[in-house]
């Protein structure tokens, strides 16, 4: 709300001052360097420069114009300090405005995304390979960005661009047909398919002819050989079934599972267009798009005619543009694919499409365990499903210790455990690496998911026992520091959501929720809620119910499932 007020002041002052001076004036409205100077600050130097009048005279005029504004009533003091005019909020008026606004609008926010569509490409694991921790990050971040965008009114299309295409399928099919065990693949699809893939490589080392065989099989698969097609479909299906277990636990869903294979018949059109536009160059038999000195060329077609990852991404991009008419497309993929997405953008730009500017690579850092890159690939495969289960078990231990009779405790523990992992990821700015320490993230104290859940449950239990009405409130209760911190934080909610969108980073929201929870907890330590005075009690209950609702909605937007009891 402060941002909105700042905007109103800026716009209205610009109009009034421009007409006063008879020339166009730009006004800057900022936050003062130190909070004891007030809540809003307006520097007048640039206005002085524009109108070429003495500082004192200009400052007096600006103060006079501020006095005439309607939002003036929200401020207690207007002070001039040197070249700055500082405004201090009238806490009573501001608190009333914040609370009244909540009663009228609830937590609804301006629908800035109305009639805009954003496609988000996230998760996107590779068939017949394990779901990596990188895919987990992509899933968590992408899902949350999608939720935040929807809250802001955007139409969101969630796409799981499965890695279900490429020469490795020739190898897997060869291995499966020659030394695979159908039964085993049935029981443990991903583990077995990975084994077959590794085995294939070992054999191919001694017998390079196998590589040719695999290539041959892949070529036939591309051309629609029914036997291979059926196997490929089967591998895709059993892999997807494994991934679905993770998605179900995380409560994540997609609008489309069209993976790379879906674009098999849509790539030729792209290649043709590149050719017509004179962008394709022959390079040792391969086809490339030259991207100048800043970047290596994009390899579009190998010398044997087969296409590449970027070729399929180009086809997917045009398909999405034509199907969804997106305003932006987001690719939630790790830092290591930075060059790939830069090349994708550069090729689209060279093709003459302005929408290259709407392509955003939402990159992210690594997951670290004891400071080292955590991997699900090397050595023993860490199954993410198992990790999620382990987090749930740790939470269950905690409940068994504190509240063993809790009804539905397994379900509650699962929600706490899984949401702890989600929050641990999202509290970090996405490009930073994330430390994966299960013990720490399921802790109820500290900057954790369980701490937020606990705070919400604590408020809920107070609210459950007490009805309150919002008809008679004592707003002057809210002006003390520890209450007004809460009011100001509540007032920031909408700005925080917009900032999270701007940076495509749910961490903005995650950190905000931690702040809100900690302000609440210090408020709760100082104030008794269940006082005899009805008005006072009402006011406090009303305040904490707003906090609880923001915490719950915020957690939901991050993709955490909120619990009511623990």
* Binding region for ligand ARG (CB under 6 A): 121, 124, 126, 161, 163, 313, 316, 331, 333
In the complex, the smallest distance separating the C-beta of residue 334 from ligand ARG, rounded to whole angstroms, is: 8
232 vs 524, which CB is nearer to ligand ARG? 232
239: Cβ–Cβ under 8 A, 6 or more apart, which residues? 125, 127, 128, 129, 189, 190, 193
In the complex, the smallest distance separating the C-beta of residue 323 from ligand ARG, rounded to whole angstroms, is: 15
260 vs 553, which CB is nearer to ligand ARG? 260
126 vs 139, which CB is nearer to ligand ARG? 126
In the complex, the smallest distance separating the C-beta of residue 168 from ligand ARG, rounded to whole angstroms, is: 12
Q: How far is CA 230 from the centre of its chain?
A: 37
CB–CB of 382/376 below 8 Å?
Answer: yes
306 vs 556, which CB is nearer to ligand ARG? 306
163 vs 189, which CB is nearer to ligand ARG? 163
Q: Which residue, among 175, 178, 222, has the nearest Cα to 199 in the 3D structure?
A: 175
Helix, strand, coil shares of the chain, percent, nearest 5, are 60, 10, 30
Count how many residues are written for the chain.
Answer: 566
In the complex, the smallest distance separating the C-beta of residue 220 from ligand ARG, rounded to whole angstroms, is: 23
Question: From residue 166, how far is each of 163, 394, 543 by CA, in Å?
Answer: 8, 40, 56
Question: For residue 284, what is the DSSP state?
Answer: T
243 vs 436, which CB is nearer to ligand ARG? 243
CB–CB of 368/343 below 8 Å?
Answer: no
In the complex, the smallest distance separating the C-beta of residue 239 from ligand ARG, rounded to whole angstroms, is: 12
Q: Strand, helix or coil at 41? A: strand
> HSE-up of 132 (CA within 13 Å, CB side)?
20
Q: Which residue, among 456, 474, 516, 475, has the nearest Cα to 492 in the 3D structure?
A: 516
**What is the per-residue burial (b if ≥16 Cβ within 10 Å, else e) of 219-242?**
bbbbeebeebeebbeebbebbbeb
In the complex, the smallest distance separating the C-beta of residue 292 from ligand ARG, rounded to whole angstroms, is: 23
Q: Cα–Cα distance between 279 and 273 in angstroms, integer? A: 9
Residue number closest to ligand ARG, CB atom: 163
In the complex, the smallest distance separating the C-beta of residue 392 from ligand ARG, rounded to whole angstroms, is: 26
**What is the per-residue burial (b if ≥16 Cβ within 10 Å, else e) of 250-282?**
bebebebbbbbbbbeeebeebbeebeeeebbee
Helices 309-324, 267-276: axis angle to 10 degrees equals: 100
> HSE-up of 39 (CA within 13 Å, CB side)?
18
Question: For residue 307, what is the DSSP state?
Answer: B
161 vs 171, which CB is nearer to ligand ARG? 161
331 vs 444, which CB is nearer to ligand ARG? 331
Q: Tokens in use for 262?
A: 């879906």
In the complex, the smallest distance separating the C-beta of residue 163 from ligand ARG, rounded to whole angstroms, is: 3
Quickly list DSSP for 399-453: HHHH-TT-TTHHHHHHHHHHHHHHHHHHTS-TTS-EE--HHHHT-SSSSSHHHHH
Q: Cα–Cα distance between 566 and 563 in angstroms, integer? A: 7
98 vs 344, which CB is nearer to ligand ARG? 344
CB–CB of 87/66 below 8 Å?
Answer: yes
CB–CB of 40/5 below 8 Å?
Answer: yes
29 vs 127, which CB is nearer to ligand ARG? 127
39 vs 242, which CB is nearer to ligand ARG? 242
Q: Cα–Cα distance between 553 and 216 in angstroms, integer? A: 53
252 vs 333, which CB is nearer to ligand ARG? 333
118 vs 517, which CB is nearer to ligand ARG? 118
């Amino acid at each position: 709300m402060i941002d909105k007020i700042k905007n109103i002041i800026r716009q209205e002052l610009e109009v009034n001052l421009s007409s006063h001076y008879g020339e166009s004036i730009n006004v800057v409205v900022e936050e003062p360097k130190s909070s004891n100077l007030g809540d809003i600050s307006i520097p007048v130097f640039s206005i002085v420069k524009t109108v070429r009048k003495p500082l004192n005279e200009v400052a007096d005029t600006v103060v006079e114009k501020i006095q005439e504004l309607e939002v003036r009533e929200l401020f207690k003091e207007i002070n001039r300090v040197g070249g700055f005019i500082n405004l201090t909020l009238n806490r009573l008026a501001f608190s009333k405005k914040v609370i009244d606004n909540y009663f009228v609008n609830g937590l609804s926010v301006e629908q800035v995304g109305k009639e805009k569509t954003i496609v988000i490409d996230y998760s996107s694991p590779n068939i017949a390979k394990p779901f990596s921790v990188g895919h987990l990050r992509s899933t968590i971040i992408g899902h949350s960005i999608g939720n935040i965008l929807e809250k802001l009114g955007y139409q969101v299309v969630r796409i799981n661009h499965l890695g279900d295409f490429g020469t490795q399928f020739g190898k897997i099919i060869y291995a499966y047909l020659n030394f695979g065990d159908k039964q085993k693949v049935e029981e443990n699809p991903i583990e077995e398919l990975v084994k077959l893939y590794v085995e294939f490589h070992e054999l191919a080392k001694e017998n390079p002819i196998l590589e040719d065989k695999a290539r041959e099989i892949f070529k036939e698969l591309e051309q629609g050989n029914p036997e291979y097609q059926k196997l490929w479909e089967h591998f895709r299906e059993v892999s997807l079934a494994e991934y679905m277990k993770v998605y179900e636990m995380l409560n994540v869903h997609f609008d489309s599972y069209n993976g790379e294979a879906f674009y098999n018949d849509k790539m030729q059109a792209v290649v043709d267009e590149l050719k017509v536009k004179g962008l394709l160059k022959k390079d040792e038999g391969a086809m490339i798009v030259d991207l100048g000195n800043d970047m290596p060329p994009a390899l579009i077609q190998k010398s044997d005619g087969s296409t590449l990852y970027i070729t399929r991404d180009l086809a997917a991009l045009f398909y999405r543009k034509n199907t969804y008419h997106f305003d932006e497309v987001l690719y939630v993929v790790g830092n290591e694919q930075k060059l790939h997405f830069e090349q994708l953008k550069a090729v689209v730009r060279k093709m003459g499409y302005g929408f290259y500017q709407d392509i955003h690579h939402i990159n992210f850092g690594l997951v670290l365990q004891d400071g080292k890159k955590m991997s699900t690939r090397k050595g023993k495969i860490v199954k993410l499903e198992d990790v999620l289960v382990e987090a749930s078990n740790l939470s269950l231990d905690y409940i068994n210790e504190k509240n063993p009779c809790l009804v539905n405790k397994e379900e509650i523990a699962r929600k706490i455990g899984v949401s702890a992992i989600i929050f641990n990821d999202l509290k970090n700015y996405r490009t930073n690496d994330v430390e994966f320490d299960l013990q720490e993230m399921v802790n109820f104290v500290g900057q954790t998911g369980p701490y937020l859940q606990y705070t919400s449950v604590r408020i809920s239990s107070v609210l459950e026992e007490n009805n309150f009405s919002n008809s008679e409130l004592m707003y002057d209760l809210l002006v003390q520091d520890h209450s007004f911190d809460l009011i100001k934080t509540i007032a920031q909610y909408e700005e925080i959501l917009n900032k999270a969108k701007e940076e495509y980073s749910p961490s903005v929201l995650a950190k905000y929720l931690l702040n809100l929870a900690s302000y609440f907890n210090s408020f709760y330590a100082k104030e008794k809620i269940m006082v005899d005075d009805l008005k006072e009690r009402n006011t406090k209950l009303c305040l904490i119910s707003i906090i609880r609702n923001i915490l719950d909605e915020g957690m939901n937007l991050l993709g955490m499932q909120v619990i009511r009891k623990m």
